[in-house]
Each structure stands twice: as C-alpha cells, then as structure tokens.
Amino acid sequence: MANDRFLLSRRGLIGGLTSSSALLLTGCGESQPPTYGNLLRMGDNFTYAMQRSLLSPTSLVREYDRSEVTSMPATGTYDPAIASTGAHDPEAGRDYAVLRKGAFADWRLEVTGLVDRPTSFSLADIKRLPRRTQITKHQCEEGWSAIAEWTGVPLHSLLTACGMQPSARYVEFYTYDKNADNIDMIDALHPQTILAYGMNGQDLPIGHGAPLRLRLERQIGYKSLKFLRRIVVSDRFQDLGNISGGWAWYNGI
C-alpha cells in the first residue's frame, strides 16, 4: 500500500509538472516546447516555461566595472583551422584558415531566412551599426566563470537592418566549426544579446571566436557560439545538434 501511494504520488507530480509546463508555455505563446520528447526534456521545458513566465523578457544580467575584469580561462578555446582542436570541420576549417590569413578582410556574415533584405555583412559593415559595450560574467557549464568586456552590435539592430519579418520565431547560428544552435525571439531581441567583435578593448581573439561571436548573457556559456559565418531567421524550431547530442536547448541564468 505504501508503495502504491508512492507510485501514485510520483505520477501525480510528473503529471502536475507536465500540466504546469503546458499552461505556462501557453502563456508564453508557445504551443509546444521545442525540446519536447522524454521525461528529462520535460524538466528542461518546465525550466524554460518558468523562466519565461516569471521573469521579465527585458531584465538585465549584472554588468560590472572595468576594474572587475578577470582573466578568461583557455578552457574551450581553439582555432577552427587546426584539425586537432575543437569541433573541427575540414571544409569550413580550410575556409577559416584563408580568412584568418587575410586578417578577415574577406569574411562575411550572411543573414537569410525570414528577412525582407537578405544581406552579406563585412566586418566593417557590422562595425558601422549601432554598438554596445558591456562587462558581464561568462558562466561556464563546467563550473568556472570569468568577467570580460565585450563590444559588438546588438542582435536586434542587425535583424532590424535586414527587415526581420513578423512571423520570425527563432534565430539560427552557423559557425566555422561543427557547432550550430538557435535561440528564441525573447533572447534574440534582448538588449544584452550582441554579436561581439571586441573583447577587453581589443579585437576579438581567435581563441574567443574571431572575428565575430554571439554573446548570449542570459544563458550558460556554451550557447554563446564562436566563429560565426551565417544567421538564419526561421519560424520553425530545429534541433541543430545540441539536443540530440545530450545538451539542453535552454539554459537560462
């Protein structure tokens, strides 16, 4: 009898969490969480729903004084042109090596998908857009953190320049290594979500994603993809590899 009561309680808890997630997500405008699938993913969905329902979509993470900048550990830093490091992609790695040799003069960021004006931006083009500098803490999934100053263009400014369409729901990021990921429009339009080309007053180093990386300050560090080459605006969610690889899609902080 005690075991029966335990099983019923556990089923009730799981059912309650599922129902709560569905209700919360309905309030967020999502008909179904993008990572829906199994019990573990339902936990991810519940976290996503709670954060989206209880926290302001424009709430800011803490920004620090320049005197508080720390060293940034080398963990996770690499050159995508070198086959023995990181998530090397042979074809994209070769392209990156050529661009790096030319000091990224021929590098372009393509923005396509649900935009009125698909555009290929040079680094100079991006630097002419409105800029933002912020000193924030990088929170790593491996347990370390560091404070750095980042300078770049707010993602919402770039999307506005391209004429993002009202049906847009997700922004996908593709890189010169094997990494790819996407975020929802709440994070995409957040004022602290930037495409950074500067770090601590200097050009972005190769180890930290030169010439351009995403800084997604309201999520754990692995969501801030490096070595950007293409952005696609979409109305449909895609698993671009992290979820099927075992990583949570949403890691809000």
> Containing H/E element for 205?
none
**Least confident stretch, 33-47, 86-100, 236-250:** 33-47
pLDDT bin (cut points 50, 70, 90) of residue 251 is confident
User: Comparing C-alpha atoms, which of 75, 21, 25, 9 is closest to residue 186?
Assistant: 25
Distance, CA of 209 to CA of 226 (rounded, Å): 4
The pLDDT-based confidence of 187 (bands split at 50, 70, 90) is very high
Instruction: For each of the domains in the chain, give its residue range(s) and CATH number, in order of start.
Output: 2-54 (no CATH), 66-234 (3.90.420.10)
d(CA 2, CA 68): 55
* pLDDT at 30 > cutoff 60: no
**Mean pLDDT to the nearest integer, 221-229:** 95
Sign of CA dihedral 203, 224, 57, 234: positive
Considering the chain, what is the average pLDDT of its residues?
Answer: 85
Q: pTM of the full predicted structure? A: 0.85
Buried b / exposed e over 175-214, threshold 16 CB at 10 Å, is bbbebbbbbbbbbbbbebbbbbbebbeeebebbbbbbbbb
What is the reported pLDDT for 104?
A: 98
As a whole number of angstroms, the distance between CA 73 and CA 165 comes to: 39
- Determine the Cα–Cα distance for residues 137 and 27; give it in Å rounded to an integer: 30
Q: How far apart (Å, rounded) are the C-alpha atoms in residues 69 and 209? A: 19
pLDDT at 220: 92
Q: If DSSP codes are grouped into helix, strand and coil, which group holds residue 153?
A: strand
Question: How much is the pLDDT for 9?
Answer: 38
> What mean pLDDT is predicted for residues 224-234?
97
pLDDT digits (tens, 9 = 90+) for 1-10: 444 433 333 3
What per-residue confidence (pLDDT) applies to 38?
64
Residues 6+ apart with CB under 8 A from 47: 250, 252
* Segment 46-105, tens digit of pLDDT: 888 888 888 888 899 999 999 999 998 766 678 999 998 778 999 999 999 999 999 999
Q: What is the pLDDT of residue 24?
A: 39
Residue 15: the pLDDT is 39
How much is the pLDDT for 66?
96
Residue 20 pLDDT:
38
**Cα atoms in the 13 Å half-sphere on the side-chain side of 148:** 22
Q: Identify the pLDDT of residue 74.
A: 63
Rg (CA), the chain: 20
Q: How confident is the model at residue 233 (pLDDT cuts 50, 70, 90)?
A: very high
| pLDDT at residue 25, as a whole number | 39
* pLDDT score, position 34: 60
C-alpha 53, offset from chain centre: 20
Which pLDDT value is given to residue 85? 76
